[in-house]
Amino acid sequence: MKKFFGVLRYVKGYWKYGILNIVFNIFSVVFSLFSIVLLFPFLKILFSGNNNDLQEIIAKGKPAFSFSASGIQDTINYTLAEQTFTAGKISVLVWICLFIIVTIFLKNVTRYLAMYFLSPVRNGVVRDMRNKIFNKTMDLSLSYYSEERKGDIMSLMTTDVNAIEWSIMASLEMIFREPLNIVVYLIMMFALSTKLTLITLALLPITVGLIAIIGKSLKRSSASQKEKMGLILSIMEETLGGLRIIKGFNAERKVSDKFRDENQLYTGISIKMFRKADLASPLSEFLGVTVMVAILYIGGTMVIEDKTMEGALFITYLALFYQILTPAKSFTSAYYSVQIGLASAERIDKILNAEITIKDVPNPISVTKFEKEIEYRDVSFAYREGEVGWVLNKINLKIEKGKTIALVGQSGSGKTTLADMLPRFYDTTEGDILIDGVSLKQARIKDLRAIMGIVTQESILFNDTVYNNIAFGIENVTEEQVIEAAKIANAHEFISQMQNGYQTNIGDRGSKMSGGQRQRISIARAVLKNPPILILDEATSALDTESERLVQDALFKLMKNRTSLVIAHRLSTIQHADEIIVMQKGEIIERGTHTTLLANNNTYKKLYDLQAFV
């Protein structure tokens, strides 16, 4: 039950709409009740005897009203007798029919208004949840995504959020409208016949037990369905990103078979889930009809043999009971819907409650400029605590302002991890990193990243215009500044030749441009940011000779008068570095200038000779 009410926490901020929904639902129930209660006088008129019977009722005098079957019956009998005797049966019948039409009309108007005010709740909750999930994905560290699939995150923002939407609607209906319906009708039924109503209530535990058993099973199936959908979306995302390789290796059949198998499993789980959910209506209807049969038999004997209940009153009682069946069925369906929503809520809570490991400390230090040096002090790092082996082990390194430091070594030696720790994409496991004597963990993250520019091996571009990609993340930029940055990055010439110049859309991840062009757009973005510290992660390793020359020239312009940390694959591009750091298995094994390292005739010399030979 605690988890169920946990779903309703998403309604916070929309209570005024929720209250209006409740108010109009109450009116809807009241008008519905009136329309049924008016059935009794209608039947009474229809089956009433002669005028002598009416005169006898009037002669007894107006009875005192009491909220009981006999009290209600006596009051209605007297009112009908009086009105029928003075106005005639047809006239009274007309008025009763008009009252029924009016109450049914008002019932449906208020029902619509209840749903009208529920709409902002449903859609607002979906909007807020998507915003929360998206914002949380921005706040979580990169290490979180090494353990999670992108498809799961996409599934959370689509299928799981939609399930919560329907669960919220069902929850509001279940908590406020349907129980109100049932309680109001039960009170009226008790007033008409306590005996019949107690028989009705006696069968409730059986109904509730069956519904609860199916509901728990439904929740498990729903959780499995959502997880499988996350996997399907992951396969889809990987397939679209790797179509060139898939086609190049004739692997279409293999990938299709994998997708088909997972889709088949998802379909099987969905079939089981919907079959369980579809039990709601027939199960509640069967149990309702079973109770009605019992009422028909017992009530029939009360009318025919015991003479303790009028026929018209018994038919009215049956109509009231029938009105309970609909909210009871809705209550069951809503309960199942909530179980589906709870499974989604648990999956959403998993990411919303995930620990943000990279965050500002209370009262962080503002670092708005770089003046002296960066220092790696006994830095060790492992992606997970208790992991065997260190990605970085006891790294000590100083980068003075204006210097260019190059990191070289085999793949997996820890070069990229070392660079990624500078903008705090990861935090040290042991040791510390300082900038101008301030620990990165004490510095405000936004300020820290504002003084750094990053150009990676894979150009990270967005499906937008050239202009917006260059100006990405920078406010109050003029067109002249963007063009100047493009010129420094050797990108202005090819941009000008595009169909719409700087307003040309570059496609998904810049697919409409060559690798060299994409890289120069990335460099132009870094130039425009004008940061004092640069991180270049193998920015030319994936380019052809001509593109590499253009990009390298742009990088030299970018690095001028800046502090640079360069990860290099091609050693010919970092011969100018003030210091070259050679890494192996997370440790620094050599350091010095290009000339010094060659003279040492060690690891760096071997790497250089291998590339020179190639």
- Count Cβ atoms within 10 A of the Cβ of residue 182 and give its class: 0-12 exposed, 13-18 middle, 19 or more buried: middle
More confident residue, 74 or 457: 457
What pLDDT was estimated at residue 396?
A: 93
Q: By C-alpha distance, which of 335, 342, 334 is closest to 220?
A: 342
Q: Flag the least confident range among 44-48, 466-470, 588-592.
A: 44-48
To which residue do tokens 């088949």 refer? 264
Hey, CA dihedral for 299, 300, 304, 306, is it positive or negative? negative
Question: Contact, 333 vs 280, CB < 8 A?
Answer: yes
CATH classification at residue 410: 3.40.50.300
Residues 471 and 347 in one domain: no
565 DSSP β-pair partners: 405, 535
Residues 303 and 407 in one domain: no
Residues 97 and 223 in one domain: yes
Supply the angle between the helices 280-304 and 311-352 in degrees, to the nearest 10: 160
Residues 342 and 405 in one domain: no
Does 606 score more than 70 pLDDT? Answer: yes
Q: In Å, how far are 31, 106, 214 from 99, measured between CA atoms? A: 10, 11, 42
Angstrom distance (rounded) from CA 151 to CA 450: 31
Q: How many Cβ atoms are within 10 Å of 437's Cβ, its own excluded?
A: 9
78 lies in a domain?
Answer: yes
Tokens of 473: 């993340």
Torsion angles phi and psi, residue 369, rounded to 5: -150, 165
DSSP label at 535?
E
Phi-psi sector, 409: left (phi>0), alpha (psi -120 to 50), beta: left
**Quick one: what percent of the chain has pLDDT higher than 90?**
8
CB neighbours of 603 closer than 8 A, spacing ≥ 6?
Answer: 582, 584, 589, 590
Between vectors from CA 69 to CA 68 and to CA 74, what angle results, nearest 5°?
Answer: 100
Does 46 score more than 60 pLDDT? Answer: no
Question: Contact, 6 vs 168, CB < 8 A?
Answer: no
Does 596 score more than 80 pLDDT? Answer: yes
Tokens of 487: 């010129």
Supply the angle between the helices 311-352 and 252-277 in degrees, to the nearest 10: 140
What pLDDT was estimated at residue 74?
A: 65
SS3 322: helix
Residues 227 and 101 in one domain: yes
Angstrom distance (rounded) from CA 75 to CA 66: 9
Question: Contact, 133 vs 353, CB < 8 A?
Answer: no
SS3 352: helix
Assign 614 a pLDDT band (cuts: 50, 70, 90): very low
> How do residues 299-312 score in pLDDT, each as one tens digit?
888 878 777 777 77
What would the mean pLDDT of 223-241 be, rounded to a whole number?
75
Q: In Å, how far are 46, 215, 513, 523, 547 from 516, measured between CA atoms? A: 91, 57, 8, 11, 5
391 lies in a domain?
Answer: no
311 lies in a domain?
Answer: yes
**Domain region containing 128:** 2-352
Domain boundary residue, one of 352, 373, 389: 352
Angstrom distance (rounded) from CA 413 to CA 607: 14
Assign 127 a pLDDT band (cuts: 50, 70, 90): confident
Residues 342 and 417 in one domain: no
Instruction: Please give the model's pTM, rounded to 2 decimal places.
Output: 0.70
Hey, CA dihedral for 310, 313, 315, 317, is it positive or negative? negative
406 DSSP β-pair partners: 566, 580
395 lies in a domain?
Answer: no
366 lies in a domain?
Answer: no
Residues 163 and 85 in one domain: yes
> How do residues 409-437 score in pLDDT, each as one tens digit?
888 888 888 998 998 988 888 999 999 99
Q: What's the structural domain count of the chain?
A: 2
Please give the single-letter amino acid code of residue 612.
A
Residues 296 and 407 in one domain: no
What would the mean pLDDT of 370-394 be, rounded to a whole number?
82
Residues 256 and 405 in one domain: no
Q: How many Cβ atoms are within 10 Å of 517's Cβ, its own excluded?
A: 23
What would the mean pLDDT of 392-405 be, rounded to a whole number?
91
More confident residue, 441 or 150: 441
Pairing of strands 587-592, 452-455: unpaired
Question: Could you please report the per-residue DSSP string of 407-471?
Answer: EEESTTSSHHHHHHTTTTSS--SEEEEEETTEEGGGB-HHHHHHTEEEE-SS----SSBHHHHHT
Helix extents (H) in 242-310: 243-248, 252-277, 280-304
388 lies in a domain?
Answer: no
Residues 293 and 416 in one domain: no
What would the mean pLDDT of 567-586 be, rounded to a whole number?
84
Residues 256 and 113 in one domain: yes
Question: Contact, 521 vs 558, CB < 8 A?
Answer: no
Tokens of 171: 């929850």
What's the mean pLDDT when you consider all of the chain?
A: 79
390 lies in a domain?
Answer: no
CATH classification at residue 96: 1.20.1560.10
- H or E segment and range at residue 15: helix 15-37
Angstrom distance (rounded) from CA 573 to CA 561: 18
SS3 582: strand
Phi-psi sector, 548: left (phi>0), alpha (psi -120 to 50), beta: alpha
Angstrom distance (rounded) from CA 570 to CA 587: 20
Q: Flag the least confident range among 121-135, 198-212, 473-487.
A: 198-212
Residues 27 and 101 in one domain: yes
More confident residue, 261 or 284: 261
DSSP label at 382?
-
380 lies in a domain?
Answer: no
> How do residues 62-87 score in pLDDT, each as one tens digit?
766 665 555 666 666 667 667 776 77
- H or E segment and range at residue 592: strand 587-592
What pLDDT was estimated at residue 113?
A: 92
- H or E segment and range at residue 581: strand 579-584
Angstrom distance (rounded) from CA 159 to CA 126: 11
Domain boundary residue, one of 311, 336, 352: 352
